[in-house]
Chains A and B, each alone.
Chain A
């Protein structure tokens, strides 16, 4: 019994010692990392010829990802061709978080030769690597390269990711050129909305040859910030007897917060069921006009 207690005590002390040593080592590592990161920060003030070999040493050494990520950012700010070469080498040699960081840093550096290497990295990379390449191309505003990826996409997911990035980059003309691609996806319609291409969306919203696409386009119109969108949605609603088209137009007005249009429809409607539906939308939109309607309804009761 006594022996057992001693054993437990010894084990406890050993565990405590080990824990405190490990904690102390962690603390040391963290402090060393902080110091290295501070030194890297100071390197931005040094001549590039002096900074580059030091950054290289950090990248090639046994350092934490955090320190290496900081080194990569400094590398992107070094205005020497060797710095860009080192970035590309790193992006090809490492994996995981550091590879993603290295790829995006190539975008920050913006060197055309380094950017041209990204396509090869994209082709052999996994989903995360591909996303990082698209981010890098977006950062570098390389519309042509993203367009190349979109047109060569082997599946819908790849195409959608590239199209989304084109929208983010405001590449209206490039997105329009993809319009006739077979099996145009919802992502492309969203991309038209994100890039603010009201003209293309309006055309799709009025084109009844593909109802599903038409419904998506009508709703997406609501996202576009354009003064003519509200009246267009009202006109689509008024010009159709199709329940789904009308519902999509109302959804568009809801997204665009165009309560004036819904109020107009409410006032002109003679159908109590339709009025009830429209009232529901006005309530969701928290429209000021709803009080006018409630007062009018109460007056009718009186």
Chain B
């Protein structure tokens, strides 16, 4: 069914400097103390296509589970929730940033140090195609 539904399956291998039409630029993962069960990844998600894309799955090497979450601060109260439906509209950008939307990386299966990187795979679909973004997000103390 998927072969009928989708005419193109594009696998896009990109670095942070990319000419691809769906990309995650300036990605990074905040370094966390040892034994932390969660870490967060950030970057600038860009969609330079004429279609909107839904995020259907994220995988992160070295982590058991990965989700998109949104932090928000309302009247000084911080809350966080999983975004089960995440869409990036045509010709738009979404910033994944501390205190806002971010990729939550859960249950690391190894120790990540500053200078290491995490391979992120973001699987998107539109009404007629699938795209996969692969980036290596470096572990840093603060945004690059």
Asked if A pairs with B, the answer is no
